[in-house]
Structure 1
Amino acid sequence: MFDNKNKYLVDENATPALRNPVDIQTHRAARAYRLQRVRQRLLAEDCAAILLYDPVNIRYATDTSNMQVWTLHNFARYALVFASGPVILFEFHNCEHLHQGNKLLDEIRPAINWSYFGAGSRISEKARAWAGELADLVQHYAGGQARLAVDKADLQGFDLLREHGLSLVEGHSLMEEARKIKSTDELELMRWTIQVCERGIQRMHDELRPGMSENQLWAWLHYENIRHGGEWIETRLLASGPRTNPWMQESSERVMLEGEIVSFDTDLIGPYGYCADISRAWTVGHVAPTAEQRRLYGLAHEQVQHNMALLKPGLSYREFSERAWDIPAPFYPNRYCCVLHGVGLADEFPAVAHRGEDWRGSGYDGLFEENMVVCVESYIGARGGSEGVKLEQQVLITADGCQALSTFPWQADWLA
């Protein structure tokens, strides 16, 4: 509510904020491990260095964060990480002070922004200065004719770097491979994000009532994330009633009615930049489900549990896809886009396709490994049906199978 005396928003129902259980040594160990992973991949690919523009990749390698969402579409900061050499961050104007105490960084320089927003008619001039500076650094630390990995850049930038004699290598896959295996310390950071996310889910559960809009409900997840030091949420996937079928509609001003299904997908980037990707479904007002709602929920839950039980190190993506739960024919046309996907600082490699036509069109093979974290997906809603259910569980692959990291309870009474 709005307090007229003090002029600020008062949350009368707020429980005390959770206490962050992560100590500074765990955080430092996680960031050191991640940089080591990047350097190991560079050496394996015979690359002298990698140029990073994706803010999630920059965060992974350098543990620096600045205007993450804004820099997804503005090329205003970047990093150059050498396999055997320094870590150099090129930071946005007058932002060097943001990273005081970060011992991963050997040097911070001002970034040269040669996007149209930053350079206008001077793009060519700025791009040449950018390429020249990078080429000089690579020459100094790695010698001529070096192989430079790049995760993303505009076309003109590639051409200019090649003019300086650099051999360019696609670097996004290199970073995805580096990010794939989590350390014990990384998992502690991720567990904290999941704890924060589940506080937000619980808050949505407790606040849910007929007559509120989808956006009002969704705002509680943001609220709990931000007040616990989280960062942003990648999507707005929350829908109710007829908007739950087909899936992928984002939250709206629609007023929710008692007894309707409401489903959501958190896609939450929380503290330390880690992702909690969890889906649950309830009825508005938490009234008893109809027989059809119960059936949809039971099938979605069965799909998640069946596919979780398959997971183990050494299992191939293809074998997992072939052995995955059989989606009944009425629900197959509206199936989710993948059977599961990796997760870390965001949704990550791999994304495992359904067998059959999906595998033929976009499937690729590989092996599950211990300490990968994946999200097991389900969407059950018949084409033309009135509602659907979206469920998702975040799990750690262990030596013995998999372990649920997301522990928010299922609707056990719906499964009886």
Structure 2
Amino acid sequence: MNLSCGNVVARQHGAMEYSEPPVDIDRVRRYRLARIHEQLRLRDYAGILLFDPINCRYACDATNMQVWCAHYETRCVFIATQGPLVLFDYGNYPHLAEGIPTIDEYRVHSSFYFFTAGNRTQEKAENFAAQITDLIKQHGGGNSRLAIDRLSYTGCQPLLNRGIVIHDGQEIMELARAIKSAEELVLMQCAIDVCEIGIGKMRAALEPGITENALWANLHEANISLGGEWIETRLLSSGPRTYPWFRECSMRVIARGEMVSFDTDLIGPYGYCADMSRSWVCGDKPSAEQRRIYALAYEQIQHNKSVIKPGMTFREVSEAAWKIPAEFADDKYGSIIHGVGLADEYPSIKHLSDYAEKGYDGMIAENMTLCVESYIGSEKSGEGVKLEEQVLVTKEGVRQLTRYPMEMDWL
């Protein structure tokens, strides 16, 4: 399978421009909606109500201020298992849904969050619940079981009062999103390509005296200018801020010889995620300790990629994973592998030492896309290395999707 999107990339003045989709977008839309319908039928639900902007994007591909709408219950999608897909949008902007074949009906959402509804919140919530109940009665065949990915008490209670039985919709969506079509993989590769252009710009800008924020801005600029959408985190740190992990970038000035580690979490063109991590040393050769922890992180990544096979249970993957030396165990990354699609997604495979408390089981399947993670932090040097690769599960094992080079001369 050719995952390249180079056939639709125009090169102008040394830049890349993603101006036209490299695949039939309507085919992607129909595949994704069919995946949702399949999961709904398996659980005998009348339909699903989606408020999470990522789930809405997956279901119908119509977008409207996705980050802003993540704050408020102002936009949603209703999907009947045996019936229409109805988009309840923020405001009356039907042009935003034009030409999308999976959207059967466009409505203006009766927004009931307090910011917009104030003391009319209950009235607005009742109005919305009445519409959803009516759709379920029309298309549910007497089934009143509704999956919802997330909804406040204000929105749920009027539905319950009308006899709607609410179930977890996030399970539906995570399982639907887990298996990628061939066309989705092409779109994901476009996001990775853009991400790696941004990483290249970061590398070129990395020199003593630059701030963490200024370095990170290179990734944002490349993503937006090449058709990407947003970045979910700001996980870049330098020197002593790389240990322990999980500090977002700051105005700290990066000094010569310091480790710089980052995790992209980038939502690129067509809404797909490029989630990869790299670690560098600023303007100098790495020290012996920097080399040592980098080599261990690299070894962990390579080993854990090699054990992934379709048909393995998550526990079997945990059991076969690289054994973290005791020296680094307390500061290990929270998972060894997680899924990726329009964002981080199912599954999240935990370390064997954490499995009893945090793990859950499931099965690795062909055409899952996964991120293989490593963090090795050194108490001795006070620095840490973060590495991560994005891979596709194939019949034989995995095929790596991310291509930005590691620091092979450090090994």
Question: 1:163: Cα distance to partner?
Answer: 1.7
**Is the contact between residue 396 and residue 404 of structure 1 (CA under 8 Å) also seen in structure 2?**
yes
Question: 1:8 aligns to what?
Answer: none
Match of 2:234 among 227, 236, 254: 236
CA 1:309 to 1:25, structure 2 compared with 1: closer, same or farther past 3 Å?
closer
Q: SS in structure 1 opposite 2:371? A: strand
Per the alignment, residue 388 of structure 1 pairs with: 384
User: In 1, are the aligned partners of 2:23 and 2:183 still within 8 Å (CA)?
Assistant: no
Shift of 1:30: 1.3
Kept in 2, the 8 Å contact 1:333–1:383? The answer is no
Q: What percent identity do the matched residue pairs reach?
A: 50
TM-score by length of 2: 0.95
Alignment correspondent of 1:324: 321
Preserved CA contact (<8 Å) 1:240 1:263 = yes
1:262 aligns to what SS in structure 2? strand
Matched, 1:99 2:103: no
Is 1:338 equivalent to 2:335 in the alignment? yes
Match of 1:363? 359
> How many angstroms apart in 2 are the aligned matches of 1:58 and 1:339?
28
Question: In the alignment, is residue 84 of structure 1 matched against residue 82 of structure 2?
Answer: yes
- Measured after TM superposition, the shift of residue 382 of structure 1 is 2.9
Residue in structure 2 matched with residue 204 of structure 1 by the alignment: 202
1:138 equivalent to 2:136? Answer: yes
The 2-side partners of 1:301 and 1:380 are apart by 9
Change (3 A) 1:159 1:144: farther
Could you say what secondary structure the match of 1:334 adopts? coil
Code of the residue aligned with 1:399 in structure 2: it is K
Conservation of the 8 A alpha-carbon contact between 1:228 and 1:271: yes
Contact 2:113-2:121 at 8 Å conserved across structures: yes
Deviation at 1:71, TM superposition (A): 1.2
Indicate whether 1:296 and 2:303 are aligned.
no
C-alpha separation between the residues in 2 aligned to 1:25 and 1:377?
30
Moved more, 26-35 or 82-91: 26-35
* Pair 384,157 (structure 1): closer, same or farther in 2 beyond 3 Å: farther
Q: 1:121 aligns with which of 115, 119, 122?
A: 119
8 Å contact 1:22–1:189 — kept in the other structure? Answer: no
Shift of 1:65: 1.1
User: Residue deviations 1:160-218, cap 9 Å, x none?
Assistant: 11221222111101110000000000000000000000000011011111101000000
Structure 1 residues 225, 129: CA separation in 2 closer, same or farther (over 3 Å shift)?
same
Aligned match of 1:6 = none
- Distance across 2 between alignment mates of 1:161 and 1:70: 25
Q: Which residue of 2 aligns with 1:255?
A: 253
Measure how far apart 1:156 and its partner are: 3.0
The Cα offsets for residues 113-144 of structure 1, whole Å up to 9 and x where unpaired, read as: 10111211111111111101111111112243
Determine if contact 1:274/1:344 at 8 Å carries over to the other structure.
yes
Taking the aligned partners of 2:57 and 2:301, their CA distance within structure 1 comes to 31
Q: In the TM superposition, what is the alpha-carbon distance from 1:407 to its structure 2 partner?
A: 0.6
Structure 1 unaligned segments of length 5 or more: list them. 1-13
Give the Cα separation in 2 of the matches to 1:24 and 1:404: 20
Q: Quote the Cα distance in structure 2 between the aligned partners of 1:25 and 1:224.
A: 22
CA distance in structure 2 between the partners assigned to 1:172 and 1:373 by the alignment: 18
Q: Amino acid of the residue matched to residue 344 of structure 2?
A: D
Map of 1:312 onto structure 2: 309
Please give the alpha-carbon distance, in whole angstroms, between the structure 2 residues aligned to 1:382 and 1:292. Answer: 8
Structure 1 residues 34-113: aligned runs within 5 Å: 34-113=32-111
Q: Number of residue pairs matched?
A: 400
What code does the residue aligned with 2:231 have?
A: I
The answer to whether the 8 Å contact 1:214/1:252 transfers is yes
Task: Deviation per CA, 1:50-82: give whole Å up to 9, x if none.
Answer: 000000000001011111111111111001011
Structure 1 pair 158–223 and aligned structure 2 pair: CA distance change class (3 A): same
The answer as to whether partners of 1:261 and 1:283 remain within 8 angstroms in 2 is yes
Report deviation, 1:385.
4.1
Give the alignment's Cα RMSD to 1 decimal: 1.4
- How far is 1:412 from its partner? 1.1
2: CA distance, partners of 1:169 / 1:347: 22
SS at match of 1:254: coil
Q: Residue by residue, what CA displacement relative to the aligned partner does 1:216-265 show, whole Å, maximum 9, x if unpaired?
A: 00000000000011110000000000000000000000000111110100
How far is the alpha carbon of 1:95 from its aligned partner? 2.2
Aligned equivalents of 1:277 and 1:56: distance in 2?
16
TM-score under structure 1 length normalisation: 0.94
